Chains A and B, each alone.
Chain A
Amino acid sequence: MTSEEIGKIVDEVVAPWENKDGNLIMILHQIQNRFSYVPREISFAVAKRLHIPLARIYEVITFYHYFKLEAPGKNIISVCLGTACYLKGSPELIAALKKQLGVNPGETTPDKQFHVQVVRCLGCCGLAPVLTVGQKVYGRVTPQQIPDIVAEYSPERAAQRN
């Protein structure tokens, strides 16, 4: 990104929160939502714009698990590890994903298509076990369904949809 582009992005994300106390987390949310992670250049630029030390920003990013420092894969698969889902088999889903994609929670596939992570309770306990791919929620998932779910997001199928 050029410094002009960065400047524009920073202006946009900071503007609605400029004069509010405790605005850092809300600003970071906007960046996280836009890029799926918080790029280093943007952190630097936000620090400058808000007149706060860079350390303040990284302290917050690394504390809160919602914010990521590296670009995740294209499709983020979140397996719910809430109690109900745990009892009803989400560990088996994690194992099935490992078998299908070869990655552990917290890792991205080498082709950058999929990132697998665990989430602590999405609040859909009635449909346990639950996983999401991006914003789409899948309930009552069995390990046998994993290959099909993953296939939905293969590049070919994604191209078909578009």
Chain B
Amino acid sequence: MVKAKINGIPVEVPNDTTILNAAREVQVKIPTLCAHPDLHPSAACGICVVKVKGMGKMPRACSTPIEEGMEITTHDPEIVNIRKTVVELILSNHPNECQTCGRNTDCELQTALADFGIREEPFPKIIRDLPKDNSTGTIVLEPSKCIKCGRCVQVCQEVQDVWALSFLERGFLTRISPAGDISLGESPCVRCGQCSAHCPTGAIFEKDDTAKVWSALLNTTKHCVVQIAPAVRVTIGEHFGFEPGTNLTKKLYTALRRMGFEAIFDTNFGADLTIIEEASEFVQRFAHKKGPLPLITTCCPSWVDFMEKFHPDMIPHFSSAKSPHEMVGVLSKTYYAEIRGYTPQDVEVVSIMPCTAKKYEIHRSREMSASGVQDVDTAITTRELSRMIRQAGIDFANLPDEECDSMLGDYTGAGTIFGATGGVMEAALRTAYSYVTGEKLPKVEFENVRGIQGVKETKINIKGAEVRIAVAHGLANVEYVMNRVREAKEKNEEMPYHFIEVMACPGGCVGGGGQPYGVTNELRQKRAKGLYTEDELAAIRCSHENPQVIKLYKDFLGEPLGEKAHHLLHTTYAPRPLYKR
């Protein structure tokens, strides 16, 4: 521990704490535009400079560790003046498009300008006119708004290990772009959206599909159904004044019904369904040796894209089960449609997801149109839903609770924990255990797969058989897990794991690319806790005990992994090139 003084206030913090973080301990907020708790400091914006007694220069608070006895001044007229000039310089390089920008009212640069009380622009505007890039159909790049904070590059390169984004050129001409100046859609980008979740301005923004949804809702020939992902229910509240992790499922149902959706379904139902299929797959491979181990989960479309591009040799290990929302989508246009006497074309399916990659997943291959038309018509993010709720004039915070449409809406505790890293694995193990042993699990919680550690390795015992498990989140953590499997293959040894779960976004879907801004590990844990609490309080906690799911198989699907299930609920994979040009 080291002791120091910040603005005369004594502070004691662990070694290597930065001045920025130490200041928080004494309620001092040093402004910054490039520092982020998820990332190591890039020291790019120059706003967090502070004075340290004895130091001639003004060091940056974000990257300077506190040393014993330091006397730091964070705010005085001179420092504030310098920071103001720097912010004014950044403003001179940023287009004045706030009123029409997607980040209006939720932008870190706007907030900084407001906090500094900037009332005029002292310097002439010099902005590079760079073209927009919406080639991915999921994320839109507007390089002219970029303030070169470097967060997106660090996220894409170090956290996600995708290397789609990079800094090109230098000096004033520096800009964000994929290698070789190709478009983002031609690059290795897996659409995880982590770049947009970390961007402080509107330079990287999700493709806004809300107009499409409104259009469908107003179309009297369409029967609109909607589903919400597990992670959405514990984060939507952050936009309406609730504590992160507050479970607002029932309010969401109300809001969506009032917005005009005919049926309110829940992706958690799809999650339960995915477990039935996937656990059955696992049992096939593990107990009956019918297929290579390890089995790897595939509900994350960014992970699927990443695997097809970077690890195509692992394709045989992938579960062929689709992701939960795709399952609900195809069933909406077949099972639900049949019951109501509609044709698939009559039904419009909207998925509310914490995820930007879903926008890509829904037209990824012909199998995503197993109903005969595209199974899920539109995927929008939590952020887009918030805007729609406001547009619809709904006072979300004070809504009464309502229920969903059970047919494709009721879910178990296992389904809801899909939103957290380790949740899919935990849900699958609960059912796999029952399938293998024919018995009910005494304790359904698997704490070892929970938490924000990058790679979690553990073993469980299913009636004497050891099942080795790995859970990874954040794509940079995948390399280690895949390499261990490859090594074992080469040396003809036993597999280090039998079952692997991968989530592209750190924290799992609760930290998804389409979630409210300002994610930190603390926030991820709070959001996940909301899901685990719902699971704890659930009456039914294992997917295979979901009565609606059982009914679905009985009345419509037949057997898990059976022919109909296969046709509707499963997909295939193929290697994809890293660069399309």
Contacts and interface: CB of A to CB of B under 8 A. Distances in A.
Interface string A50-71: 0001111111001100000000
B237 to A, nearest CB: 37
Contacts of A58: 166, 168, 179-181
Contacts of B178: 55
Contacts of B188: 53
A72 B181 CA distance: 19
Contacts of B170: 62-63
B163 interface: yes
Given A40-B180, A43-B180, A55 B169 contact: no
Interface size range of chain A in the complex: 10 to 19
Interface in A13-59: 40, 43-44, 53-59
B179 A59 contact: yes
B183 to A, nearest CB: 14
Given A40-B180, A43-B180, A62-B170, A55 B579 contact: no
B404 interface: no
Nearest to B178: A55
A94 B16 CA distance: 53
Interface in B152-184: 157, 163-170, 178-181
B180 A59 contact: no
Given A54-B180, A56-B163, A57-B179, A63 B157 contact: no
Contacts of A55: 157, 163-166, 178-179
A53 B166 CA distance: 10
B296 to A, nearest CB: 22
Contacts of A40: 180
Nearest to B166: A55
A153 B166 CA distance: 40
Contacts of A44: 579
A67 to B, nearest CB: 12
A62 B579 contact: no
Interface size range of chain B in the complex: 10 to 19
Which of A43, A58, A62 is most buried by chain B, counting CB atoms within 10 A of its CB?
A62
A13 B154 CA distance: 29
A55 B180 CA distance: 8
A55 B170 CA distance: 15
Nearest to A52: B163
A63 B174 CA distance: 9
A62 B163 contact: no
Contacts of B168: 58-59, 62
B176 to A, nearest CB: 11
A63 B153 CA distance: 15
A114 to B, nearest CB: 24
B169 A63 contact: yes
B21 to A, nearest CB: 29
Interface in B545-581: 578-579
A43 B164 CA distance: 16
Contacts of B578: 54
Contacts of A53: 157, 163, 179, 188
Contacts of A54: 163, 179-180, 578-579
Contacts of B179: 53-55, 57-59
Which of B163, B164, B179 is most buried by chain A, counting CB atoms within 10 A of its CB?
B179
Nearest to B173: A62
Contacts of A59: 166-168, 179
A143 B165 CA distance: 45
A62 B180 CA distance: 9
A43 B169 CA distance: 16
Interface string B133-167: 00000000000000000000000010000011111
Contacts of A56: 163, 166
A155 to B, nearest CB: 33
Nearest to B170: A63
A42 B164 CA distance: 19
Contacts of B167: 59, 63
A53 to B, nearest CB: 3
Which of A55, A56, A57, A59 is most buried by chain B, counting CB atoms within 10 A of its CB?
A55
Given A53-B157, A55-B165, A55-B178, 9 more contacts: A53-B163, A53-B179, A54-B179, A55-B164, A55-B166, A56-B166, A59-B179, A62-B169, A63-B169
7 contacts: A43-B180, A44-B579, A54-B579, A55-B164, A56-B166, A59-B179, A63-B167
- List 10 A-B pairs, minimum CB-CB distance, nearest first: A53-B163, A55-B166, A55-B179, A58-B179, A55-B163, A54-B179, A62-B168, A59-B166, A63-B170, A62-B169
